């Protein structure tokens, strides 16, 4: 294979799970084809400090790996409107028609024509502009043997009423649109799909239909695609690639645990998700959860942590999947704990790396998280889990059912006050059996990931 594999995209640097997605994929590729050159498009523009960090970080997980900045979004936040190709596209249709298209109020015939323009004309004009203004990005496509779309939840349009088409949805889909236009084989690897509203589903029907595969990381998303008529003949279930993250920082974990008097397998890690209407970092729930609901969720968490400490004698580490909870987890939960519980609770007051988290998760007795990726990371290191999301967190929670762990998927809103305690004590009292179950899961997950890579190699453009 003289060409490279192009991966789109690497994601946020504000979420330990988002950070771990691409290294997990790179680790699997390294096992299968260590000599294969890989190029990764970051979702972040060149000027973003997160891109600079990612550029140096990802090559640690795969030799011959080059990370390029996002070529489809202007660094000043102007979205697609800052390139000449867009200006031509807008002149053809007019800003009023494009706004009607975005809102879903345009006629079906005009909407179909705009979709055809995006897929065939605009995409080629954009690529020709890349060849002049961003040759590295153009080369990443021209010399790609395959374009692999990374794990995530990034095709959404209309989720929680959000229809940010030109600055979010279209740029995130553009790598596959360009691959399709250039005749490069491409596939969607282990995504979740929460909302694909009209008229973007017109585009997705063609984009997904021509893909070599469209895989979902949870069967609820797969069922959703089937209901919308958006499945590909090679659609199915594949695990999120964070399952294959392999980074550790044992020295940091040793020091952290010693400083905080945490003993191996005698503490529970707890991560919150608090819907924020004015987040410093991106929150896909957009503050959709009322203050009343958030307070009741935290009341249940308080009850849970205090019961866990009382009944097991094990400590609690209140830590973070995202940077966002650094700002509010203390106020919402830690500060309302009883004085006795606070003495047995360690509050992490700074953000950590994915490697640091991995090493700490590995030593925990249980990881309880309202976020999904810390759950994935915990399963991968063999630590039992409880996932307690709310509905606005999306379909990805169904991964827990797909892994045969449904009794540990607990809706934070509808559960009884004792439900999480009951689940945690079940794990505590059957600890070795729970760990063994997770150990036996890993070969199946790795086998399914290898199947996907075999499909990549089979479709490879020579």
- Read off the CATH number of the domain in which 50 is found: 3.40.50.11720
Instruction: Reply yes or no on whether the pLDDT at 267 is more than 60.
Output: yes
Residue 121 forms part of a structural domain: yes
* DSSP class of 45: -
Find all residues with CB under 8 Å of 245, minimum gap 6, and list them.
Answer: 20, 21, 23, 24, 27, 354, 358, 377, 380
Q: What domain range is 385 assigned to?
A: 247-429
**The residue to which tokens 């867009």 are assigned:** 86
Mean pLDDT of 208-217: 97
Write the CATH number for 389: 3.40.50.2000
Choose between 83 and 429: higher pLDDT.
Answer: 429
Which has the closest alpha carbon to 437: 396, 401, 412, 404? 404
Claim to verify: residue 173 and residue 309 sit in the same structural domain: no
Q: Are 24 and 244 in contact (CB under 8 A)?
A: yes
pLDDT band for position 276 (cuts 50, 70, 90): confident
On whether both 150 and 297 belong to a single domain, the answer is no
Residue 95 has pLDDT above 60, yes or no: yes
Mean pLDDT of 276-294: 77
Domain count of the chain? 2
In this structure, what token pair is assigned to residue 177?
């649109």
Give which of 430, 418, 311, 321 is closest to 365, Cα–Cα: 430
Residue 76's pLDDT band (boundaries 50, 70, 90)? very low
Verify that 343 and 254 share a domain, yes or no.
yes
Q: Are residues 276 and 182 in the same domain?
A: no
**Residue 347 predicted with pLDDT over 70:** yes
> Among residues 124, 225, 113, which one has the least CA distance to residue 177?
124
* Residue at 436 is within a domain: no
Assigned domain for 435 exists: no
pLDDT digits (tens, 9 = 90+) for 385-425: 999 999 999 999 999 999 999 999 999 999 999 999 999 99
Same domain, 211 and 348: no
What pLDDT score does 77 carry? Answer: 45
Residue 364, token pair as written in the block: 């925990």
Residue 297: per-residue pLDDT: 97
Provide, rounded to the nearest whole percent, the portion of the chain with pLDDT above 90: 90
- Residue 325 falls inside a structural domain: yes
Q: Is residue 370 part of a domain?
A: yes
pLDDT band at 287 (very low <50, low <70, confident <90, very high): confident
* Residue ranges in 42-188 assigned as alpha helix (H): 49-57, 84-93, 95-103, 108-116, 123-133, 135-142, 170-182
Is residue 316 located within the same domain as residue 378?
yes
Percent of the chain clearing pLDDT 70 (strictly above): 96
Q: Looking at the structure, tell me whether residues 62 and 115 fall in a common domain.
A: yes
Same domain? 228 vs 343 = no
Cβ atoms < 10 Å from Cβ of 233: 8
Residue 69 lies in a domain: yes
Of residues 56, 64, 81, the one with CA closest to residue 7: 64
Element (H, E) at 187: strand 186-191
Residues 239 and 252 in one domain: no
In a domain, 414, yes or no: yes
pLDDT digits 0-9 by tens, 1-51: 579 999 999 998 999 999 999 999 999 999 999 999 999 999 999 989 999
Report residue 63 CA to chain centroid gap: 23
Q: Are residues 234 and 343 in the same domain?
A: no
pLDDT at 12: 87
Of the candidates 410, 412, 422, the one whose C-alpha atom is nearest the C-alpha of residue 298 is: 412
370 and 450 belong to one structural domain: no
DSSP string, 154-169: ---BSGGG---IIIII
Q: Which secondary structure element, helix H or strand E, spans residue 429, and what is its range?
A: helix 419-429
Please report the pLDDT score of residue 1 as a whole number. 54
If asked whether residues 230 and 342 sit together in one domain, one would say: no
Say if residues 399 and 218 touch (Cβ distance below 8 Å). yes
Q: Phi-psi bin for 391: left (phi > 0), alpha (psi -120 to 50), beta?
A: alpha
Asked whether the predicted pLDDT for residue 290 surpasses 80, the reply is yes
- What is the overall mean pLDDT for the chain? 94
pLDDT band at 288 (very low <50, low <70, confident <90, very high): confident
Identify the pLDDT of residue 275: 82
- Tell me whether residue 439 is in a domain: no
Report d(CA 203, CA 187) in Å as an integer. Answer: 15
């Amino acid at each position: 294979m003289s060409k490279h594999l192009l991966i789109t995209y690497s994601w946020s640097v504000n979420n330990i799970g988002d950070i771990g997605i691409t290294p997990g994929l790179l680790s699997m590729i390294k096992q299968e084809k260590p000599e294969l050159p890989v190029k990764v498009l970051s979702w972040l523009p060149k000027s973003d400090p997160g891109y600079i960090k990612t550029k140096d970080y990802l090559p640690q997980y795969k030799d011959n790996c080059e990370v390029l900045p996002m070529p489809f979004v202007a660094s000043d936040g102007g979205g697609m409107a800052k390139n000449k190709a867009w200006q031509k596209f807008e002149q053809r249709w007019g800003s009023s028609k494009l706004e009607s298209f975005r809102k879903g109020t345009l006629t079906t015939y005009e909407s179909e024509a705009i979709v055809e323009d995006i897929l065939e004309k605009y995409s080629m004009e954009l690529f020709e502009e890349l060849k002049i203004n961003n040759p590295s990005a153009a080369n990443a496509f021209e010399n790609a043997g395959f374009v692999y779309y990374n794990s995530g939840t990034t095709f959404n349009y209309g989720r929680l009423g959000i229809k940010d088409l030109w600055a979010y949805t279209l740029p995130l889909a553009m790598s596959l649109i360009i691959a399709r236009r250039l005749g490069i084989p491409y596939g969607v690897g282990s995504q979740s799909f929460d909302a694909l509203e009209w008229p973007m589903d017109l585009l997705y029907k063609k984009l997904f239909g021509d893909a070599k595969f469209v895989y979902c990381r949870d069967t609820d998303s797969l069922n959703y695609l089937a209901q919308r008529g958006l499945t590909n003949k090679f659609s199915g279930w594949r695990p999120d690639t964070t399952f294959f993250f392999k980074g550790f920082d044992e020295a940091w974990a040793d020091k952290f645990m010693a400083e905080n008097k945490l003993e191996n397998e005698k503490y529970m890690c707890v991560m919150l998700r608090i819907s924020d209407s004015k987040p410093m970092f991106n929150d896909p729930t957009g503050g959709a959860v009322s203050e009343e609901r958030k307070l009741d969720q935290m009341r249940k968490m308080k009850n849970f942590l205090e019961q866990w400490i009382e009944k097991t004698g094990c400590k609690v580490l209140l830590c973070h999947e995202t940077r966002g909870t650094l700002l509010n987890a203390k106020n919402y939960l830690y500060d309302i704990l009883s004085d006795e519980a606070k003495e047995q609770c360690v509050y992490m007051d700074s953000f950590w790396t994915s490697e640091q988290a991995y090493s700490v998760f590995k030593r925990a007795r249980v990881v309880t998280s309202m976020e999904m990726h810390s759950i994935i990371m915990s399963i991968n290191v063999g630590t039992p889990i409880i996932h307690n999301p709310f509905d606005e967190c999306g379909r990805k929670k169904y991964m827990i059912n797909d892994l045969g762990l449904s009794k540990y998927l607990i809706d934070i809103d509808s559960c009884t006050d004792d439900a999480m305690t009951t689940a945690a004590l079940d794990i505590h009292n059957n600890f070795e059996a729970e760990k063994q179950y997770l150990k036996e899961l890993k070969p199946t997950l790795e086998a399914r990931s290898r199947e996907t890579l075999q499909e990549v190699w089979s479709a490879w453009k020579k």
